[in-house]
């Protein structure tokens, strides 16, 4: 009391001195703070591909080269389809739509990933995460239905060639493409707002290189089992309808090819359909793994590898599949190159 005028120090006996597990209490306090700050749009941290690599600089260069190849390959294919009158058919119109989707598809994730690696940044804001998730879901859903429309186009061309111009006229093509974009956007509008309104309190680290729904849901501290079940049913429906259309179309196509007397006709039909079936396999295989298999089959590392395949590699492979195995496209490319070399 005599030393009171000398500002004697006080001792705070706080929560941690009363706890048997102070470290755990500290971690929980951080989680509560993160949950409380969620309404203030706290940034997420993307723990992406580069953190898992022993040579991140080399991986960054490889992904940048793949990105340029995807952009240039799809851009050339779009240019050829637009400029060459021989490619102004429903089949190539739908292939052009696929190339547009692939360009947007890879541009949603890769530029930010590369820019963050170069600048040493690994954060993404909550609104930015929501926008990325919406665009990605929209493009995945749109491509899912577009592949079904392409299978229907091949069915009409091979099984009903005399009525092809009636069943697949310009108006029908526009309706099919618009329907694919619309159904894809429904998927984005439906899943994105629900996912982003969950309270996140486990961590700010998304164990992925972009904001994919399953990876973001892992951060939620609330019970997401009902939503995951509804999302599973939605994804099953969105995958099941196109798969039924594709399977039915190719069943009729195979029967028609079997009945053909012309060996040349069979070869041409198989060549056209095999390209599309390759693209379908590349897309639907990883999509089934990501959105239809139970969570017990998933690990962050597996999810990143699968997502890397169909998010980054598939947009590169699609234009190669449709150009290298297609005489019309290679002919249009040679014609454009000859025109470019012609003297003025």
List, for residues 129-149, the tens digit of each pLDDT value.
Answer: 999 999 999 998 999 999 999
Reading phi first (left if > 0) and then psi (alpha if -120 to 50, else beta), residue 106 is in: alpha
List, for residues 25-73, the tens digit of each pLDDT value.
Answer: 444 444 444 443 444 456 888 887 777 777 888 988 999 999 999 999 9
List, for residues 230-267, the tens digit of each pLDDT value.
Answer: 888 887 888 888 889 998 998 898 888 878 777 776 77
Domain that holds residue 301: 42-330
Whether residue 95 lies inside any domain: the answer is: yes
Whether residue 218 lies inside any domain: the answer is: yes
How many domains is the chain partitioned into structurally? Answer: 1
Name the 3-class secondary structure at 10.
coil
Tokens of 133: 């998730």
Whether residue 17 lies inside any domain: the answer is: no
Reading phi first (left if > 0) and then psi (alpha if -120 to 50, else beta), residue 205 is in: beta
Whether residue 191 lies inside any domain: the answer is: yes
List, for residues 315-324, the tens digit of each pLDDT value.
Answer: 898 888 877 6
pLDDT above 90 covers a percentage of the chain that reads 26
DSSP 220: B
Name the 3-class secondary structure at 268.
helix
What is d(CA 19, CA 46) in angstroms, rounded to the nearest whole number? Answer: 33
Name the 3-class secondary structure at 45.
strand
CATH number at residue 253: 1.20.1070.10
Whether residue 14 lies inside any domain: the answer is: no
pLDDT band, very low/low/confident/very high, at 24 (cuts 50, 70, 90): very low
Whether residue 288 lies inside any domain: the answer is: yes
- pTM of the predicted model as reported, rounded to 2 decimal places: 0.81
Whether residue 4 lies inside any domain: the answer is: no
Compute the 3-state secondary structure of the chain and give helix, strand, coil in percent, each to the nearest 5. 80, 5, 20
Backbone angles phi, psi at 41, to 5 degrees: 55, 60
By the 8 A CB rule, do 329 and 77 touch? yes
DSSP 13: -
Query: In the predicted model, is pLDDT for residue 22 greater than 60?
Result: no
By the 8 A CB rule, do 73 and 158 touch? no
Whether residue 11 lies inside any domain: the answer is: no
């Amino acid at each position: 009391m005599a030393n009171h005028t000398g500002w004697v120090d006080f001792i705070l006996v706080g929560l941690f001195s009363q706890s048997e597990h102070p470290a755990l209490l500290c971690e929980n306090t951080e989680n509560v703070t993160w949950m409380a700050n969620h309404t203030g749009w706290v940034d997420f941290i993307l723990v992406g591909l580069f953190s898992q690599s022993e040579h991140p600089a080399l991986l960054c260069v490889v992904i940048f080269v793949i990105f340029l190849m995807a952009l240039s390959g799809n851009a050339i294919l779009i240019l050829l389809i637009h400029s060459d009158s021989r490619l102004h058919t429903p089949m190539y119109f739908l292939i052009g739509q696929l190339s547009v989707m692939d360009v947007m598809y890879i541009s949603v994730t890769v530029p930010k990933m590369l820019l963050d690696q170069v600048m040493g940044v690994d954060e993404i804001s909550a609104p930015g995460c929501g926008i990325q998730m919406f665009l990605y879901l929209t493009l995945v859903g749109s491509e899912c239905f577009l592949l079904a429309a392409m299978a229907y186009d091949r069915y009409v061309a091979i099984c009903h060639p005399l009525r092809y111009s009636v069943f697949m006229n310009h108006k029908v093509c526009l309706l099919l493409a618009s329907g694919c974009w619309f159904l894809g956007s429904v998927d984005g509008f439906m899943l994105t707002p629900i996912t982003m309104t969950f309270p996140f309190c486990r961590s700010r680290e998304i164990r992925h290189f972009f904001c994919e729904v399953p990876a973001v849901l892992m951060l939620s501290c609330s019970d997401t089992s009902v939503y995951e079940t509804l999302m599973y049913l939605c994804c099953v429906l969105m995958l099941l309808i196109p798969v039924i259309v594709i399977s039915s179309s190719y069943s009729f196509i195979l029967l028609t090819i079997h009945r053909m007397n012309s060996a040349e006709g069979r070869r041409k039909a198989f060549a056209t359909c095999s390209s599309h079936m390759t693209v379908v396999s590349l897309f639907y295989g990883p999509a089934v793994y990501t959105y239809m298999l139970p969570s017990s089959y998933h690990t962050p590392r597996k999810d990143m590898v699968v997502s890397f395949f169909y998010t980054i590699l598939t947009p590169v492979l699609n234009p190669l599949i449709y150009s290298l195995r297609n005489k019309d496209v290679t002919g249009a490319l040679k014609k454009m190159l000859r025109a470019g070399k012609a003297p003025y």
